Chains A and B, each alone.
Chain A
Amino acid sequence: MLHRFANPTRFLRVAAALQPWCVGLSLACLAGGLYLGLLRSPADYQQGDTVRIMYVHVPSAWMALFVYANMAIASAVALIWKHPLADILAKNCAPLGAGFTLIALATGSLWGKPMWGTWWVWDARLTSVLILFFLYLGHMALVNAFDDPSRGARAGAVLALVGSVNLPIIKFSVDWWNTLHQPASVLRIGGPAIHSAMLTPLLMMGVAFTLLFVALLLVNVRAEIAERKLRGLRLARAAEV
């Protein structure tokens, strides 16, 4: 299965077919989730309307972790089987993950001001997510720091695997430490502690963000493959002349 889709030509064909579906479904879920979340869902009895920040904050925080997990898996595949496609995937995950992490941090900060009375606290959850953000930035800097792109990709793969230590720390930081950030209320033992009127739009936003990530990743990967082909053609032509 893995090796079957590691063939760039086959991958490009599948990617081209998948991309419009991902974009369309993502936009549909985004519209539905935003409508239900911002207009139809009830306001929180304590937090009032600020609770609606959750519909952007929580999915982007999920994505920050999900994208990193993807990047780490792609990196492991790249190191073990040396599929060039896995390198390209891992490389293009980093800017997207950094973007989602930044959105999670920014919306969290906007939510924190009215609820906690401060833009930022140095509690375990916030600090570990900030470290995740720096890991993404470090990965991007490292991959681009070498004259030989394949050397950068290999170094980036090792860094992505080293940094994956941070993922369980982020997930369980709210349980291990006494944080100002609230503990998990969706993915927890005993089922979600959140009413379905809020859970439905939240999950729809989660699906929308995931599909958006897949769509953007496909665009970037296709662009990078095209770029590499162009470079190869240019080199071949230069060699002929």
Chain B
Amino acid sequence: MMPALELIRRDLRLAWRQGTDVAMVIAFFVLTVVLFPFGVGPEPNILARIGPGILWVTALLAAMLSLDRLFQADHDDGSLEQLVLSSPALPAMVLAKCLAHWLTTGLPLAVVAPILAILLNLGADGFVVLVGSLLLGTPVLSLLGAVGAALTLGARRAGVLVALLVLPLTIPVLIFGVGAIDAALADLSSRPHFLLLGALLAAALPLCPWAAAAALRQALE
């Protein structure tokens, strides 16, 4: 347990000291969302209707954008190899790295999302559900992303490839994340959507670190 906590602390410290990484993900999120009113026109009703979808898709893309720093930097300076060699429980280490990744991308995205929701004229009923669905859904994105990032380690054009591999798998998260907000805005219960998001997280938590650890071992073989 202690090495995993130490790994999280190290990754967070690295992210904090090179603060531009986190700031860039947030800036990408904000800028892309702000583009939409120019693209579809500033009609408040249209924006309110498509707002949940815009926020979720953009958050997903922002999370994708930050995946390269999950393993690539550690792979370049050799510390990833040390990690794989030294830890008996590699999946736990991968899980720790996913958690650190989520704390530096998913969590900030969920914090910023309500401010952008105001800009998109989202109904007040949707705010809590928006934050809740992002908090429950973005960890799944980090976990799936870890599998993709581990698979493409050392590949040509790894950035595009990781998106091609991971984006299809994230479609269920997107469906239920947006579904929860839409249900809340339509005065329906968003509970089923939250349950399904929780189920996705419960399935991804044990399976993704395991698959990512297998991919890492193959990559460093």
Contact = CB atoms under 8 A, between A and B. Distances in A.
21 contacts: A127-B171, A134-B167, A137-B164, A138-B164, A138-B165, A141-B161, A141-B165, A142-B152, A145-B152, A145-B158, A146-B156, A151-B219, A155-B151, A155-B215, A159-B151, A159-B165, A162-B169, A162-B207, A162-B211, A163-B169, A165-B207
Tier of interface size on chain A: 20 to 34
B168 interface: yes
Nearest to A153: B218
A194 to B, nearest CB: 31
A145 B155 contact: yes
Contacts of A134: 164, 167-168
Contacts of B219: 151, 155
B215 A158 contact: yes
Nearest to A132: B168
A154 interface: yes
B17 interface: no
3 shortest A-B CB distances, which residue pairs? A134-B168, A145-B155, A154-B218
B221 interface: yes
B16 to A, nearest CB: 32
A146 B164 contact: no
Contacts of B26: none
Interface string A152-169: 001100110111010000
B103 interface: no
A135 interface: yes
Contact of B169 (A79, A131, A155): A131
Interface in B189-221: 207, 211, 214-215, 218-219, 221
A151 B218 contact: yes
B151 A158 contact: yes
Interface residues of B, number: 22
B211 A145 contact: no
A32 B66 CA distance: 55
Nearest to A157: B218
Given A137-B164, A154-B221, A145 B157 contact: yes
Given A155-B152, A158-B151, A142 B165 contact: yes
B154 interface: yes
A163 B208 CA distance: 11
B130 interface: no
B154 A141 contact: no
B111 to A, nearest CB: 30
A131 B165 contact: no
Nearest to A161: B211
A131 B168 contact: yes
B195 to A, nearest CB: 14
B136 interface: no
B155 A142 contact: yes
Interface in B150-179: 151-152, 154-158, 161, 164-165, 167-169, 171
A158 B214 contact: yes
B147 interface: yes
A161 B212 CA distance: 12
Contacts of A137: 164
B168 A158 contact: no
A138 B148 CA distance: 10
A141 B219 CA distance: 16
Contacts of A135: 168
A145 B161 contact: yes
Contacts of B215: 155, 158
Interface string B138-152: 000000000100011
Chain B CB within 10 Å — which of A141, A147, A162 has the most? Answer: A162
B26 to A, nearest CB: 28
A155 B164 CA distance: 14
Given A154-B221, A158-B215, 19 more contacts: A134-B168, A138-B161, A141-B165, A142-B151, A145-B157, A146-B154, A146-B156, A151-B154, A151-B218, A154-B218, A155-B151, A155-B155, A158-B218, A159-B165, A162-B147, A162-B169, A162-B207, A162-B211, A163-B169
Contacts of A155: 151-152, 155, 215, 218-219
Given A155-B215, A158-B151, A138 B168 contact: yes
